[in-house]
Each structure stands twice: as structure tokens, then as C-alpha cells.
Amino acid sequence: MAGSFPRRGFLSALGALGVAGSSAGCATATGRPAAAGDHQVHQGLMTFIGSYTSSQPAGRGVDVAVRDASGALTPTATLPVPDASFFAWSPDHQFLHVTNEQPQGSITAIDVSGHEPRVIGTVPSGGDSPTHLSVHPSGEFLLTAHYGDGTVAAHQRNPDGSIGERTALVQHPGAEPHAHQVVVDPSGRWVVAVDLGADSVFVHAFDGGPLTQHQRLTLPTGTGPRHLVFEGTTAYLLAELNSTITVLAWDPDAGNLTAGQVISSRAPEATGENFPAEIAVSRDGKFVHASNRGDDTITTFAVEDGALGFQAATSSGGTWPRHFALDPEETSLFVANQHSGTVTRLARDPGHRRAHTHPRPLRLPLRRGDHLPRLNRPHQSVHRSARANRQFSQDAPQAGELVQTLIRPGAGP
């Protein structure tokens, strides 16, 4: 196995890997810019992959892999971070932060600035089952959403990348709140939290002190909003329970969101149970991608005159696509398929930027004790279940459940 790090654990950066979680989106970059139609996979890009360690079969926490000239992924390190469900970069991309999605939640900081990634430390997150986190653009604060109790916390970040004391905690209202995501708006002035259980998006004022609710955008009962992505003064909100994308107008001066177009996250002909998971917008703002768990697809939408139009639905190459990420040149999209325990690369059409399955899907089973990547056909038969019970089929390949992939921006060999 080429180049290996000590087995101290590592984290997924391909999808937050927004290519970002668990819980996410993020980018990677090395090598020359890709020309139109060039789907060559760059060598040496570091890909981070998170998995649930308490599931059966158990994942390994955080794995790091590099890609060779053929595009194959080779695992190089593992960090035993428990239930690593979502990741967030520091602004300088020298540190990675991860949620430990457990009832007594915690968050971990990892130093990736050297040749050997290392865990700096872990602190209590301040709530139940942290499922998403973001670093404030200032780099001074870490924000965490707790699915279990519907709270959002802020922690101080120290100059050495470690996580300091909790500085704020806000409880979302309602009978059964489940905060699923927390992000900072493009202006850096507002903290926006998506709550699946409350069918709401909360806008909080935050200047380093308390988190203060400023707006509650209430959605129709049963929407189940999960993740939101900003593009300038527009935001796209993906709903897990009714499989929709809502186009939101964002006023950064007033700190207000206004709901507009609502469109299905699925292909028009799709039927059966479906639970969307991740949403991302291309760098030029012209295309939106969404993952659909149940359909096991990545759908592509074109943005025209402020509205979304369905373009295509592409197989995710596995089962239960929880997270995906675009690479730096946005010629490829990497999908973390949770139930099949695989990472699949999809090429993006250079003309229409819709995703299509690569002729040889890249698969990286992450079983305990398995250090070698395999290239197989995607597993097709697996029981699909709602997030509510979180009980997953044992008919899937015996690999740990992958929950996020992330590519490190600017990371080379």
C-alpha cells in the first residue's frame, strides 16, 4: 500500500465534501485546471471519509485515502473517531472538525497541516447527537447542530486549532425539534439553522456572544427540512420528509428568508419511499445537485431566471447516498453511499453539467481490518428505511456505513 500514516484515525473531507457530513460540501485542488470535457482524475488528492462506528457492521471512524492516476482510492490512514458523521474545515484548511454523533455528543479537532494527521482533542458538544457543524468565517467559532434535542451551540476555536469552551447555546422551540444543519450566511452576520422536527429554518443573530433568534421561517407540516446551501442572495433548501427543494430569497441586510418555488428533488417518474440527504450548488451558480436515498440517485437541476428546472437523475452507484462532494475542477462528483459502504465517482457532463456514472465506479469498502480498495459493480439490492428508526438492512455488503466524503482543498501528494 502506497504511503501510509500511523493508524490514529482520520476524517472525510470529500463531501464536506460539499465537497462536505457528516455531514456535507467542500472542494479539493491540485494539478492543472481541467479543460472542458477532461475527466482525468488528478493524482494525490486527499479524500477523507467518515463512518458510523456504532452501527452493525461497524465503520472505522475517519479514513483518509489518496487517488492514483487511474482514479483508484488507496486508504492511507485511519483515525478512530467515534461515529464521525460530519466535518468542517477551518478557513485555512489546516484543521478539520468532526461531529461524534452520539447521545452524549462531542466534537473532535484534527490537525491535517503536516504529513501525519493527528487528533488534537475532543470536547463535549453541549447537546444530544450532534449531526452537523460549521466554522465561522472568522475562524474564531465552531457552530454545532444537535439532532437529538434541537439545540445549536457555539464553541470558541483556539489559534492551535483546538476547541475551547462553549460560548452559546440556543434551544429551538416546538414539541420535537431536531436541528439538522447550521451554517453561516455569506455575509458572515447570521447563523442559519435548519430544523427537521420543527419544520422550520431559524435565523440567529451572532456576534460572538449569545445566539439570538431573529427569524423563524415555518414550512408546511411534514416538510422535514434537512440541508440548505447559499448562492449569493438565494438559498436552496432540501427537505428529507417530502422530497422537495425550496428556492429561498435571502436578504442579508434584514436577515430574512422568503420562500419561493418548490420543486421535487426526484426525477418526475420516481415512485416509492425517498429521503433526500445532501444538496450542493456549482461554483458558477448554474446547477444544483441533490442526493436521494431510496431512489439512490443524484439529481441535477439547472438554474434559470431564479428558478430550478429538472435536468437528469443519475444512479449514485451504491445504496443510500447520504453525502456527496464536487472536486475542485467540478468535473467529478464523489458520493458516499451509506448502506453499501462505498465511495463512487460520477463524471459531470461538460456541456450540461449533469452527472453520469463513470464506466468503472470507484468503490472503497471501509470494513474494520480491510485496507485494500476494491473495484466492483455497485450493490443493487438493499432494504431502504427512514432516518426515524435508523435501523439499516444487514443484506448490504459487510462494510461500515459511510456518511460523508470530503476532499481537501489544495491538498497534494
Question: Does residue 184 have a pLDDT over 70?
Answer: yes
**Is residue 111, in this structure, part of any structural domain at all?**
yes
Q: Which three cell numbers stand for residue 309?
A: 428546472
User: Is 393 in contact with 383 (CB distance < 8 Å)?
Assistant: yes
Average model confidence (pLDDT) across the chain: 79
Tens-place pLDDT, residues 198-214: 999 999 999 999 999 99
What's the average model confidence in pLDDT over 353-370? 45
**Is residue 124, in this structure, part of any structural domain at all?**
yes
Higher pLDDT, residue 380 or 310: 310
**Is residue 205, in this structure, part of any structural domain at all?**
yes
> Is residue 371 exposed (0-12), middle (13-18) or buried (19+ Cβ within 10 Å)?
middle
**Is residue 370, in this structure, part of any structural domain at all?**
yes
Tens-place pLDDT, residues 220-238: 999 999 999 999 999 999 9
Of the chain, the percentage scoring pLDDT greater than 90 comes to 59
Nearest to 336 by CA among 281, 401, 265, 395: 401
Question: Does residue 289 have a pLDDT over 50?
Answer: yes
What's the average model confidence in pLDDT over 304-325? 94
What DSSP line would sit under 243-302, residue for residue? TEEEEEEEETTTTEEEEEEEEESS-TT--S--EEEEEEE-TTSSEEEEEEETTTEEEEEE
pLDDT tier at 383, thresholds 50, 70, 90? very low
What's the average model confidence in pLDDT over 116-123? 93
Can you give the pLDDT at residue 42? Answer: 42
Give rounded-to-5 percent helix, strand, coil for the chain: 0, 45, 55
Tens-place pLDDT, residues 291-308: 999 999 999 999 999 999
Nearest to 365 by CA among 333, 398, 335, 389: 398
pLDDT tier at 276, thresholds 50, 70, 90? very high
Tens-place pLDDT, residues 235-264: 999 999 999 999 999 999 999 999 999 999
Can you give the pLDDT at residue 368? Answer: 34
Can you give the pLDDT at residue 229? Answer: 99
Can you give the pLDDT at residue 355? Answer: 63
Lowest mean pLDDT among 35-49, 89-103, 207-221, 227-241: 35-49
Higher pLDDT, residue 42 or 192: 192
User: Is 41 in contact with 71 (CB distance < 8 Å)?
Assistant: yes
Domain range enclosing 92: 46-220+325-407
User: Is 29 in contact with 64 (CB distance < 8 Å)?
Assistant: no
**Is residue 147, in this structure, part of any structural domain at all?**
yes
CA atoms of 399 and 366, how far apart (whole Å): 6
Q: Residue 93 CA to chain centroid, in angstroms?
A: 16
pLDDT tier at 12, thresholds 50, 70, 90? very low
Asked whether the whole model's pTM tops 0.85, one would answer no
Higher pLDDT, residue 165 or 38: 165
**The domain spanning residue 108 has which CATH number?**
2.130.10.10
**Number of domains the chain is built from:** 1
CA atoms of 189 and 410, how far apart (whole Å): 27
**Is residue 384, in this structure, part of any structural domain at all?**
yes
pLDDT tier at 345, thresholds 50, 70, 90? confident
CA atoms of 339 and 402, how far apart (whole Å): 7
**Is residue 249, in this structure, part of any structural domain at all?**
no
CA atoms of 330 and 336, how far apart (whole Å): 17
Question: Does residue 267 have a pLDDT over 60?
Answer: yes
Can you give the pLDDT at residue 374? Answer: 23
Can you give the pLDDT at residue 5? Answer: 20
**Is residue 27, in this structure, part of any structural domain at all?**
no
